[in-house]
Copies of this chain bind each other. A is one copy, B any other.
Amino acid sequence: MSNDPVFILTRPQMGENIGAAARAMLNFGLTGLRLVAPRDGWPNPAAVATASGAAGRVLDPARVYPDLAAAVGDCAMTFATTARPRELTKPVYTPEAAVAEARAQIAAGNKVGFIFGPERAGLENSDIAQASAIVSVPVNPEFASLNLGQAVLLIAYEWGRQTAGAAPMRLEGAVTELATGIEVEKLADHYEERLEEAGYFFPPTKAPVMRQTLRSFWARMPLTRADVQTLHGALRQLMRKR
């Protein structure tokens, strides 16, 4: 369904794993698959073979994007799946809490994405910096071995479990219209450009980390459309009157 969450596979390597992810999703009725720069190109015969009955429903309509930013452009909230929360300062959700939050956001009209990393290395910090939050399965700290297909399965299962739940969804307060990924990205660009001109990213050796810190900050904030407009306006005014 168009208002279900989308699952974004970032730089997936093996076609078999893309197919397995498609099968896992369709078990719980999910069909919104996006691919970021799949290693072996697209379409991928191995993915189709593994997906089997899920090929037509999930793989065929899947969209391919050159980078993660493009893939999450229309998402107001994104969850980056990681094996273990790392250094970045983002809220960390269990699958249960993430799906509950996703359902609330979707009920408020916002698009939600779950981002999965490549098989071996998982998401890079620069990927996670673009997400609103982190979702991590609480596994045995002495033995964590979930693969890509299993991570997709568990999130899809949680979606199915909570969606099937007879309990009516509880909505609190007024519906807030969150900004989309593209809107937040443009805002981040605007601030980064002005800070660049002001010599903020100094010394050059620290500049990449400083940029990533700021990107991560913007992605993490629950910005509404109105907030984004206010922040554009404030920056323009700061730069104008001197």
Binding site for B on A (CB under 8 A): 23-24, 26-29, 52-54, 57, 85, 87-97, 100, 134, 136-140, 143-146, 150, 153-154, 157, 160-161, 164, 167, 169-176, 191, 194-195, 197-200, 213-214, 217, 220-222, 224, 226-227, 230, 233-234, 237-242
Contact = CB atoms under 8 A, between A and B. Distances in A.
Contacts of A57: 143
Contact of A53 (B143, B237, B238): B143
A47 to B, nearest CB: 15
Contact of A175 (B87, B197, B238, B241): B87
Contacts of A222: 91, 220-222
A160 B172 CA distance: 25
Q: Counting chain B CB atoms within 10 Å of each CB, which of A191, A198, A213 scores highest?
A: A198
B172 A94 contact: no
A238 B194 contact: yes
Contacts of A140: 26-29
A182 B35 CA distance: 44
